[in-house]
Amino acid sequence: MQNNIKYLIAKLAAEHSLTLDEYALLIASSDAELDLYLAELAVKTRKDIYSNFVYVRGLIEISNICKNNCYYCGIRRGNHNCERYRLTHEQILECASEGYSLGFRTFVMQGGEDSFFSDEILCGIIKDIKLKFPDCAVTLSLGERSYESYKILREAGADRYLLRHETADKAHYAKLHPAEMSYDNRMQCLYNLRKLNYQVGCGFMVNSPFQTINNLAQDLKFIESFKPEMCGIGPFIPHHDTQFRDYEINKLKSLELTCRLLSIIRLIHPSVLLPATTALGTIHPQGREMGIKAGANVVMPNLSPVAVRKKYELYDNKICTGDESAQCKNCLEARMRSIGYEIVSDRGDFKN
Ligand code: SAH
């Protein structure tokens, strides 16, 4: 094992911080033995705080209508082959109701930036969920909105907000998004959410087009300073109706790098809630198990109506699009048990 890298890992575990160059070295050092050492420390760190519990979030994909045109995303507005849908208030409540009876205590409403979902409409849905299921947390993942809007949604009862920063490098951001989208605004949204006392989630894709080791090191530096309560990272996977359709990904390398980054993020920020994402499960049949074994502690089974699941296609070959919610929950429960972890029916709030 390379001793200088081993030293960096030990330093990270002790101090929760490295320099940009040190992060870059760690990210670039592809060595199975080092990865095992990293994962071992990450798992130990997590165990002290969250035991062997894995928290579940029921994902409700409320709309695939989006005003944005992110170059990598299958539901970007410019994709005219995407069959659009939007769930009704009643459908969303039904998903939550089914989820509740399956033991879910967090519901994540995710979607494209669909202007139909005004503050008023969203508040009605949030309040209804909170009224029916007062012991549940509501997480929103609906993109960039104004400070005022985030404030109104927070007051209506939303507890958490997921907004991946996508990349902490402005020039890289500009290669993934059209000029009308702004890196500064996305970052400002994260700070606004923090100010409004949401539990906030940032995150990024791994091996996204044009991404360099240095970009990833910047992502880690950002996480170090922002200290998000949650952090969503998953491998980039091309979608056939985007300009990155022919971008080659090496699934094994992406899997390995994502797991390494999960371990590093766990060591930077021991109490962070870190999902083993669906994208990780998509590039490898045991991807989510591997993510948990690297230091993740959250899984997000799908609660969307089966009829719309295939339409919420951010990338190709997304898994679990044909299964009923109960199947998804049972499947993940069995997967977690098989590696010695236990799914808990709990809101799973951030522990300070
Ligand atoms: N509109 C919301 C939700 C976006 S979808 C928002 O702006 O936050 C959730 C995440 O999926 C995105 O933040 C992005 O990081 C990820 N994603 C999109 N396309 C992807 C792709 N091709 N491969 C992997 N992840 C992708």
Burial 266-297 (b: 16+ CB within 10 A, else e): bbbbbbbbbbbbbbbbbbbeebbbbbbbbbbb
Nearest CA residue ID for atom 24, ligand 1: 236
Nearest CA residue ID for atom 18, ligand 1: 73
Angle 119-125-126 from CA coordinates, rounded to 5°: 85
Nearest CA residue ID for atom 2, ligand 1: 143
233 C-alpha to ligand 1 centroid (Å): 10
Residues 127-155 have pLDDT tens digits of 999 999 999 999 999 999 999 999 999 99
Q: In the structure, what pLDDT confidence band is assigned to residue 352 with cuts at 50, 70 and 90?
A: confident
Residues 84-122 have pLDDT tens digits of 999 999 999 999 999 999 999 999 999 999 999 999 999
The predicted model gives 193-200 an average pLDDT of: 98
166 lines ligand 1 (CB under 6 A): yes
May I ask the CATH class of domain 2-344? alpha beta
In this predicted structure, the answer to whether residue 241 has a pLDDT above a threshold of 90 is yes
What string of H, E and C letters represents the secondary structure of the chain? CCHHHHHHHHHHHHHCCCCHHHHHHHHHCCCHHHHHHHHHHHHHHHHHHHCCEEEECEEEEEECCCCCCCCCCCCCCCCCCCCCCECCHHHHHHHHHHHHHCCCCEEEEEECCCCCCCHHHHHHHHHHHHHHCCCCEEEEECCCCCHHHHHHHHHHCCCEEECCCECCCHHHHHHHCCCCCCHHHHHHHHHHHHHCCCEEEEEEEECCCCCCHHHHHHHHHHHHHHCCCEEEEEECCCCCCCCCCCCCCCHHHHHHHHHHHHHHHHHHCCCCECECCHHHHHHCCCHHHHHHHHCCCEECCECCCHHHHCCCCCCCCCCCCCCCHHHHHHHHHHHHHHCCCEEECCCCCCCC
151 C-alpha to ligand 1 centroid (Å): 23
Copy the structure tokens of residue 163: 């907004």
Report pLDDT for 1: 62
Q: In the structure, what pLDDT confidence band is assigned to residue 323 with cuts at 50, 70 and 90?
A: confident
Q: In the structure, what pLDDT confidence band is assigned to residue 2 with cuts at 50, 70 and 90?
A: confident
The pick from 200, 314, 316, 318 for probing ligand 1's pocket by mutation, whose C-beta has the most ligand atoms within 8 angstroms, reads: 314
In this predicted structure, the answer to whether residue 3 has a pLDDT above a threshold of 70 is yes
Q: What is the mean pLDDT of the chain?
A: 97
165 C-alpha to ligand 1 centroid (Å): 10
163 lines ligand 1 (CB under 6 A): yes
236 lines ligand 1 (CB under 6 A): yes
- CA separation (Å) from 29 to 116, 243, 253? 46, 30, 12
- Please identify, by atom number, the ligand 1 atom nearest to the C-alpha of residue 163: 8
246 C-alpha to ligand 1 centroid (Å): 18
Domain locations in the chain as residue ranges: 2-344
In this predicted structure, the answer to whether residue 166 has a pLDDT above a threshold of 80 is yes
Q: How far apart are CA 111 and CA 75, in angstroms?
A: 10
- Please identify, by atom number, the ligand 1 atom nearest to the C-alpha of residue 315: 22
Q: Which amino acid is at 351?
A: K
205 lines ligand 1 (CB under 6 A): yes
Report pLDDT for 82: 98
